[in-house]
Amino acid sequence: DAGVIQSPRHEVTEMGQEVTLRCKPISGHDYLFWYRQTMMRGLELLIYFNNNVPIDDSGMPEDRFSAKMPNASFSTLKIQPSEPRDSAVYFCASSFGQIEAFFGQGTRLTVV
Amino acid sequence: QQPVQSPQAVILREGEDAVINCSSSKALYSVHWYRQKHGEAPVFLMILLKGGEQKGHEKISASFNEKKQQSSLYLTASQLSYSGTYFCGTGHSGNTPLVFGKGTRLSVIA
């Protein structure tokens, strides 16, 4: 398996634009997590899914953030409209039974 | 609630030992340790479940004190490859996701 695949690896966008981050989890994993990493806050859990169903989105900062998982092999995190304070590295991770989470390489988002 | 890690940063010479601590204000079900190298994704090191167990991974081991709600990661005879940021992630039940600490930056120098 190629591991968790995220795209794009880097994204630079202007304030106000819509940003969509993509994630392909490891086949067979039943949990998918979206994290945001900044120097100030560290790794923050934004939302997680179990068997494609959103379980807890209390970490999503605002209504500008939304996430979907239409099937077991794909998830998106959307920010609309984006703001400079959204700049961070966004990680997607998947696991089987919440034991060992495998992280993707992350998407470095810069909003200017 | 985010666990507290200490120290925030440590510098070691090759061959020296280090201890990284992780404390929670809530009862713990599990503690997970990850290491992240600069510009890379966090990589799983080990998981400890409640029961006060100790686990080992090469020269890296960890303990879990359920009563004190804390875990410690022990790095012995450190190598240059140990450099990175170490995160603990805490779980408060079998069904809740991990909450990560802010990390401990470890630098091993020759």
Tokens of B88: 């603990």
Residue among B47, B95, B100 whose CB faces A43 most closely: B100
**What average pLDDT does range A92-96 have in this prediction?**
94
CA A7 to chain centroid: 10
Are B110 and B14 spatial neighbours (Cβ–Cβ below 8 Å)?
yes
pLDDT given for residue B65 in this prediction: 87
pLDDT higher than 90, residue B94: no
**What average pLDDT does range A22-38 have in this prediction?**
96
β-bridge mates for residue B6, sequence order = B21
Are B100 and B45 spatial neighbours (Cβ–Cβ below 8 Å)?
no
Tokens of A11: 């994204």
pLDDT given for residue B55 in this prediction: 66
Look at A43-52, B61-70, B83-92 and tell me which has the smallest mean pLDDT: B61-70
**What average pLDDT does range A50-65 have in this prediction?**
93
User: CA dihedral defined by A60, A28, B86, A12, rounded to 10 degrees?
Assistant: -50
Q: Does a cis peptide bond (omega within 30 degrees of 0) precede residue A70?
A: no
The CA distance from A61 to A57, in Å, is: 9
Q: Please provide the average confidence, as pLDDT, over all residues in chain A.
A: 94
pLDDT higher than 80, residue A75: yes
> How many C-beta neighbours within 10 Å does residue B29 have?
15
Partners of residue A101 in chain B, C-beta under 8 Å: 32, 44, 89, 98
Angle in degrees, CA A32, B98, A38, rounded to 5: 85
Give residue B53's pLDDT band: very low, low, confident or very high (50, 70, 90).
low
pLDDT given for residue B29 in this prediction: 86
Q: Which amino acid is at B102?
A: K
In which residue are the tokens 């020759």 written? B110
pLDDT higher than 70, residue B61: yes
Helices vs. strands in chain A: H and E counts, helices first: 0, 11
Residues of chain B numbered 86-105 and touching chain A (CB < 8 Å): 87, 89, 91, 94-95, 97-103
pLDDT higher than 90, residue A110: yes
Distance (Å) from the alpha carbon of A64 to chain B's nearest alpha carbon = 23
Partners of residue B32 in chain A, C-beta under 8 Å: 100-101
> How many C-beta neighbours within 10 Å does residue A41 have?
12
The CA distance from B30 to B98, in Å, is: 9
Number of Cβ pairs < 8 A linking chain A and chain B: 44
Tokens of B54: 């100790």
Percent of chain B surpassing pLDDT 70: 93
Please tell me if residue B43 touches chain A, with a CB cutoff of 8 Å. yes
Higher pLDDT, A101 or A69: A69
**What average pLDDT does range A50-67 have in this prediction?**
93
CA B91 to chain centroid: 13
Are B102 and B88 spatial neighbours (Cβ–Cβ below 8 Å)?
no
The CA distance from A64 to A82, in Å, is: 8
**What average pLDDT does range A19-47 have in this prediction?**
95
pLDDT given for residue A22 in this prediction: 98
